[in-house]
Amino acid sequence: MLKRHRYTAFFLILILVSVVFSGCAQTTKTDWESQVIYFIMTDRFYNGDTTNDMDANPSDPKAYHGGDLQGIIDKLDYIKDLGATAIWITPVVDNEEGGYHGYWAYDFERVDEHLGDTAKLKELTDKAHDKDIKVILDMVFNHTGYNSPWLSDPAKSDWFNEKMDIVNYNNQEEVEKGWLSGLPDLNQSNPDVEKYLIDMAMSWIDETGIDGFRLDTVRHVPKEFWTKLSQTIKQKYPDFFLLGEVWVNDPEQCYRV
Ligand SMILES: [Ca+2]
Ligand SMILES: [Ca+2]
């Protein structure tokens, strides 16, 4: 009889432990599929700090318009009231002239001066989290801006694929190695480039506490790179969200690439 009670107690403890752990998992793991994501092109959203406007000119569609990270902080309640549970913001890295959209990187390691700085991005993330809003950062790993300083750096002469237009979009090698819209195409097959990009990505997560990346131009980068990036991030941040962009007219292809 005593033995049977011991077994009963043992199973009860097992059930209790299972319930506690599954409860933890439910409260800490983000259900990304149920998020309502609000997309923000930071420069075009809201001007929260006029001291960083510099060459901003709202009457010129190709110029910076003055929006910044402080502007998003100022409007978090507005975003929350819309029902959004996450924001996806355009790339924050320092861009070359005219890169108000963020996709023409000049320096991957700092925030563009028109938008704020790393501390401001962390402040945005912290304040968004206070309101239960996740932050997804747009990241470009495929290319730099047209005038990257790396192009004239002899130490980085093998960091780019050979200059070539993409003509045949059915040729995957051409799609991966060609210069999309003439943008200098990074060679992720070079271990130095791979390491740089992954270290850079990890730094942004470590320093700011963001919750996810929206990965730009996924079909233009070898899958091996995405696997390595994903594994490295997930090892340290299992709940980190990765959303890839594939610009094609055929929805079926989104699953194939
Ligand atoms: Ca501004
Ligand atoms: Ca490429």
State the CATH architecture for 36-256.
Alpha-Beta Barrel (3.20)
d(CA 231, CA 93): 23
pLDDT tier at 9, thresholds 50, 70, 90: very low
How far is ligand 1, taken at its centre, from the CA of residue 41, in Å? 13
Nearest to 113 by CA among 65, 167, 52: 52
Using an 8 Å Cβ cutoff, are 174 and 167 in contact?
yes
Active-site pick, 77, 174, 216, 224: 216
Instruction: Give the tens place of pLDDT for each residue, 211-229.
Output: 999 999 999 999 999 999 9
**Looking at the CA of 70, which ligand is closest?**
1
Query: What was the pLDDT predicted at 249?
Result: 84
Sequence spans of domains, the chain: 36-256
Instruction: Give the tens place of pLDDT for each residue, 80-115.
Output: 999 999 999 999 999 999 999 999 999 999 999 999
Instruction: Give the tens place of pLDDT for each residue, 162-184.
Output: 999 999 999 999 999 999 999 99
Is the pLDDT reported for residue 256 higher than 60?
A: no
From residue 103, alpha-carbon distances to 27, 157, 168, 221 in Å are 35, 22, 23, 15
* Interval 185-193 mean pLDDT: 98
How far is ligand 1, taken at its centre, from the CA of residue 71, in Å? 8
* Interval 131-146 mean pLDDT: 98
Q: Is the dihedral of CA 9, 10, 11, 17 positive or negative?
A: positive
Q: How many CB atoms lie within 10 A of CB 126?
A: 13
- pTM, two decimal places: 0.87
How far is ligand 1, taken at its centre, from the CA of residue 86, in Å? 22
